[in-house]
Amino acid sequence: MQFVIDRNNVNTQWLGRLFLAFGVLLTALIVGTSVLDRGLDSELAVTIAICVIGFCVIWPWSWRRSGTGTIELNNTGLRVHTKSGDFMYPWSDIVDIRTSSLSERGNLSRLAYQVLGIDTKKQFALVRLDKWLKKNPVRERWGTSIAGLPLFVKQTAVFPQDLDGFLQTARQYWDAARQPPEHRQELL
């Protein structure tokens, strides 16, 4: 069963707005410093501004790729396929799947999201894992049962467009994976 990823999820909003704000502030700082230190050295200021703005446009664009793709549920586990890589979580490594929102985070994190104009009440699926999440930088894959570098986190967020349908279907597969093999077909 496949679900489409919400392109306008909180992760892509956060990264896009953070880098835009960072780019504007850094450009203003560099151009202002250039003007104050050297007088009006316009060639240097324009060159630096173009580089910083280019970085702040290209970097969020690459993160937007993580908002394009599908979430696949099958008998072996949960697989998220995006333009920025593949994420694979076997059912045996998943402890729980539930809804969550940014408003459940600490006050400083919630305040940072609100300052950037991100809806902290928007729901997403939180997948809790019993193993460390790992990243294979060579193959652009993430997961719990791959060879790679540990990221020292045991949870990940998933952003399906149909959150309720995803949670219902994921729980059916998750429950079935915990049953003896002869009972699994009855649940699916």
Q: Could you read off the pLDDT of 103-129 as tens digits, one per residue?
A: 886 677 778 788 878 888 889 999 999
> How far apart are alpha carbons 13 and 33 in whole angstroms?
30
Give the residue with greater pLDDT, 170 vs 48: 170
How many C-beta atoms surround the C-beta of residue 36 within 10 A?
Answer: 8
> How far apart are alpha carbons 63 and 46 in whole angstroms?
26
pLDDT higher than 70, residue 17: yes
* pTM: predicted TM-score of the whole model, two decimal places: 0.75
pLDDT, averaged across the chain: 82
pLDDT higher than 80, residue 51: no
pLDDT confidence bin for 134, thresholds 50/70/90: very high
- 142-157 in b/e form (b: 16+ CB < 10 A) is bbbeeebeeeeeeebe
Least confident of 34-38, 54-58, 87-91, 183-187: 183-187
Asked if 71 and 2 count as a contact pair (C-beta separation under 8 A), the reply is yes
Q: Could you read off the pLDDT of 142-173 as tens digits, one per residue?
A: 898 888 888 898 999 899 999 999 999 999 99
Q: Which of 50-64, 104-118, 133-147, 174-188 has the highest mean pLDDT?
A: 133-147
Q: Which two tokens stand for residue 93?
A: 């490594």
pLDDT higher than 70, residue 178: yes
How many C-beta atoms surround the C-beta of residue 159 within 10 A?
Answer: 25
What pLDDT, on the 0 to 100 scale, is given for residue 39? 60
> How far apart are alpha carbons 129 and 152 in whole angstroms?
11
Amino acid at the residue 87? F
What pLDDT, on the 0 to 100 scale, is given for residue 37? 66
What pLDDT, on the 0 to 100 scale, is given for residue 20? 72
Asked if 27 and 53 count as a contact pair (C-beta separation under 8 A), the reply is yes
111 CB-near residues (< 8 Å, 6+ apart): none
pLDDT confidence bin for 50, thresholds 50/70/90: confident
pLDDT confidence bin for 188, thresholds 50/70/90: low
> How far apart are alpha carbons 112 and 58 in whole angstroms?
22
